[in-house]
Amino acid sequence: MVIVSSPLTLSHDVNDPKITASIWDVISNTEALGVNQAYFGHSGTKFSASDKTVTMTDAVIEACIAGTGECKLMEDKERFTTAASQMYYKPLSYDGSKVAVLLMNADNATDTLAVKFSDIPGFKGTTATVRDIWTHKDLGVSKGTFSAAVDSHDAAFVILTASAEL
C-alpha cells in the first residue's frame, strides 16, 4: 500500500523471472515509490468508500470451503465483504496544495470513479492539474472533480496539484 506509507516488501518468488517481469512496472515505479516515501504530517488513509459491497475470495478460501485444501488460518475458511470502491489520499505538501489519490475498484466490472476535490481531507484546490502515476503522464486540468474509468480489481493513482482558477 504505497499511498499509506507502508513498508514495501516483495512477497513473490524473486527467482521466477516471469513473475518479476509481470510486476516490474509496478515495483519499479519511481513516482509511486516517491509517494510512499513522502511525509507531510500524515501517512495517508481511506477517506471514502462506496455503499455497494462485493464478496471477495481466492483459491485458498475456495479450497478450504470445499474441503480440498489446507486451512492454516480461520480466515482461510471465509469469504469476506468489502466496499466495491474505495478512495485513499496522502498529502504531498504541508499547505494542502498537493495530494496523491488512489481510486480502487474491487467490483467485477469496470466502473467510473469520481472524486470531488472538496471531499479530499486537507486539499485546498478547486482546480487542479492531474498526473497519472501509473502511466507517468499529465492528464490536464480538472475543475472540482476528477473521474477515471477503472478496470475491475484495478486502481487509478493520481497526483492532484492545486492550480490557479481557470
Torsion angles phi and psi, residue 133, rounded to 5: -70, -35
Cell 462506496 belongs to: 50
Structural domains in the chain (count): 1
Tell me: pLDDT of 165 over 80: no
- Domain encompassing residue 24: 2-162
Q: In this structure, what CATH number is given to the domain that contains residue 51?
A: 2.60.40.1180
- Rounded-to-integer distance, Cα 118 and Cα 37, Å: 25
Runs of H (alpha helix) within the chain: 17-27, 30-37, 59-66
- Rounded-to-integer distance, Cα 99 and Cα 115, Å: 12
Tell me: pLDDT of 166 over 60: no
pLDDT tens-digit map of 77-126: 788 889 999 999 999 999 999 999 999 999 999 999 999 999 999 999 99
Better pLDDT: 3 or 105: 105
